[in-house]
Chain A
Amino acid sequence: MNMPSGLGRRGLLFGGAAAGAGVFLAGCTSNESNDDDSDGAERNQAASNEESGPDVTIGFAGPQADHGWLSAINEHARSRAEEYDDVTLEITEGSNDTAQQIGQIESLINSQVDVLVILPADGRSLTQVALSAMNAGIPVINLDRVFDTPQAYRCWVGGDNYGMGLNAGHYIGEQLKDVEGARVVELSGPDNLELTVQRTQGFDDALANYPNIEKVARQAAEFTVESGQDVMSGLLQAVPEFDALWNHDDDQGVGAERAIDQAGRDEFFMVGGAGSQHVMEAIQADNTVLKATVLYPPTMAASAIDLARACAQAKGIGGLAEFEIPSFIQLYSAVVTKDNVEQYLPTGFN
């Protein structure tokens, strides 16, 4: 008789503890900060105050928002569309699965949206479905990851990876041009991505203008915080002293900064890439090695909405003389420093 009652008590104890743990855990999933009011529309620049025109339905299909930059893309598209009373945005659940994204785009075509904005998970494999949209008379605004053929889009708008490297290299070059035998380190993204190759190419091309600068090390991280910390801590050990660091990506940069903090190093300055809010705040505070970042602006999604609207309403874009939107727009990778960070801070992503 003793055994069961003992077990019962133990069971009760464990059950109670488990239930308590469960309740506590459930309460801990929230990420809402009490003093967080930097949301939505405020993060964009004011939308162009063009007169409203005929109603436009824009279909938006993008990949799964599994990192900060992509979530910012969705948010910018959504908040920009809300600013126009003549725009209805049909946004699909993001997916990295090619077949699923094709299905989503086909259903947008079938529901006869006026214009499509597509950020393909993989440009090559979504070219066919974009072509069929164009053939069905629905113009496609291709966002960032480019389709195989210009026939698949009416307009392409996206970032400049080569230009990112170029501008990072020029910024570092200008800072170090009077330093004899300056040493530079590069923390790149994954080597199996073409964009990494382009960024590094641009960086090297820019540094070639400064004969006093030598790139002493380059290692690839995986765009994740964990890999950034891992690789950067090794780089710091490998190169006991250097003058500047360019990190391709602000997400992995969080890990790199952590490694720098842990190693207690500060003899160099660091330039980031992409433009996260965290990095911009650090640049503004000016109390870490972070002195600049080169943008790969997620605001391009807002621009794509503007282009889609103008395209559907058969207008050009303000400031240009033409009667219609351009077919190819490559954005500039501006260098954000302490001097201009205030202007860019609202576009920083989490």
Chain B
Amino acid sequence: MTTGATPEPSATASLDKPAPPGPPPAAATGDKGPGQGPRLVLGKLFDLHTLSLLGVLAILCVIGAITAGDQFLDTNNLQLVLTQASVIGVVTVGMTFVMIGGGIDLSVGAIVALASVWCTTVATQEFGMGGMIFCALAVGVGCGLVNGVLIAYGPMVPFVATLAMMVSARGLSLEITGGSTQMVTVDSVLDLGRRDSYILGIPPLVIIFAVITALGWVLLNRTTFGRRTVAIGGNAEAARLAGIAVKRQRLMLYALSGLCCGIAAFMLVVLSGSGQNTNGNLYELNSIAAAIIGGTLLTGGRGTIIGSVLGVLVFTLITNLFVLNNLESAFQQIATGAIIVAAVLLQRRSASHTT
């Protein structure tokens, strides 16, 4: 959890250094004026997208209560849904930053695989839980930095650079495992996923997820880092003219996404008790889909952490409903596609109403 805070110091450190964020940059950030009072905080937390997503979640819960009854309305099930959402949720927080900054990160799933594999090798496990966490985070940040350098200073198109990272990170994780499943033998790590380590009934993974979400929200809405991210995503050229170090900001966004992948990788290791090169399969698509139905624009410049997290919960809840009702996975995929389309259409409408 201390690790989740690492992006913060750099953000706050950069607060006082470059051109003072006075009137000119404020003009660049455009729609989000600097002096919005606390009155608008609630409005920011629950905008129309978020409300419509909460509506979808409520409908899904009603469906669950009707069709699966006791099994659905069970604290065990709540713990289960939140736990299953936590890993992809943390990845999606990082993805949301990248997307708001006008980029895309196709390599998240592969980085999760590589980090989870790297931190479960026999050699790493000899260092215990600390060594495993360090390994996962370092691999994540390392891959993110490579992405960032290629994209910011290459310069390469994010789609291409992260596609290359996706392929090579998958290859490297296959090379390390040789295709076999690496079992975790460190007891403290295994225990972290068991019921005994729940704190006040909340699984540790869910707590990490909540902390990352909160930190992400603060970073996006309450720091210069967040405002710069929105600015370069909305109009990179205007942001550059306003004195924002666009390249450095891009670099840090991909490093942040990599860090989130590293955290998620360790969480997945706790959850599954192993590391495998197939880990993180389709995370890139699932996290992009969750961010999009959460109201993040593919073109950048707009998006919310809360929306993305709700998007993740919608998908996890759908899976949960299908499994509880013993329905075929084929229908689940169809339903997921339909929900993406419906959510985005709904947002289009609400967006055109507000503007």
Contacts and interface: CB of A to CB of B under 8 A. Distances in A.
A160 interface: no
A44 to B, nearest CB: 18
Given A25-B139, A30-B122, A219-B323, A226 B279 contact: yes
A67 interface: yes
B132 to A, nearest CB: 9
Residues of B in contact with A, size category: 35 or more
Nearest to A70: B179
A332 to B, nearest CB: 25
A45 to B, nearest CB: 22
- Counting chain B CB atoms within 10 Å of each CB, the highest count among A24, A219, A223, A226 belongs to A226
Task: Give the dominant DSSP class at B's interface.
Answer: helix
Given A30-B121, A68-B181, A237-B80, 4 more contacts: A220-B328, A224-B279, A225-B278, A264-B195
Nearest to B196: A264
Contacts of B77: 237
Contacts, number: 152
A240 interface: yes
20 contacts: A31-B176, A32-B122, A219-B323, A219-B329, A222-B278, A223-B278, A224-B276, A225-B272, A226-B279, A226-B280, A228-B272, A234-B323, A237-B77, A240-B71, A251-B276, A254-B272, A255-B274, A263-B76, A276-B181, A278-B181
B183 A29 contact: no
B122 A33 contact: yes
Contact of B179 (A66, A261, A263, A278): A66
A101 interface: no
Nearest to B281: A224
A227 B319 CA distance: 11
Interface string B260-283: 000000001001111011111100
B194 interface: yes
Contact of A255 (B174, B272, B281): B272
B14 to A, nearest CB: 13
A25 B135 contact: yes
The winner among A255, A257, A258 for most chain B CB atoms within 10 A is: A258
Among B135, B180, B194, the most chain A Cβ lie within 10 Å of the Cβ of B180
A224 B278 contact: yes
Interface string A312-350: 000000000000000000000000000000000000011
Interface in A252-282: 254-255, 257-258, 261-264, 276, 278
B323 A258 contact: no
A25 B195 contact: no
Nearest to B326: A217
B71 A24 contact: no
Contact of A28 (B121, B142, B323): B121
Interface string A223-239: 11111111101110110
Q: Which 9 A-B pairs have the closest CB atoms?
A: A234-B323, A350-B180, A224-B278, A28-B124, A30-B123, A258-B273, A71-B179, A238-B324, A68-B180
A336 to B, nearest CB: 18
Contact of B181 (A22, A30, A233, A254): A254
Contacts of A226: 268, 271-272, 276, 278-281
A213 to B, nearest CB: 17
B181 A350 contact: yes
B168 interface: no
Interface in B69-90: 71, 74, 76-77, 80, 83-84
B68 interface: yes
A110 B281 CA distance: 38
Contacts of B323: 219, 231, 234-235, 237-238
B297 to A, nearest CB: 29
B119 to A, nearest CB: 8
A238 B71 CA distance: 6
A237 B76 contact: yes
Contacts of B146: none
Nearest to A250: B181
Nearest to A68: B180
A239 to B, nearest CB: 8
A4 interface: no
Which of B83, B118, B323 is packed against the most chain A CB atoms within 10 Å?
B323
Contacts of A231: 323
Contacts of B324: 234, 237-238
Which of B77, B124, B193, B278 has most chain A Cβ within 10 Å? B278
Interface in B271-309: 271-274, 276-281
A218 interface: yes
A185 B210 CA distance: 33
A231 B319 CA distance: 9
A65 interface: yes
A261 B281 contact: no
B121 A31 contact: yes
A13 interface: no
A31 B177 contact: yes
Contacts of A54: none
A240 B68 CA distance: 12
A238 B179 CA distance: 32
A103 B16 CA distance: 60
Contacts of B128: none
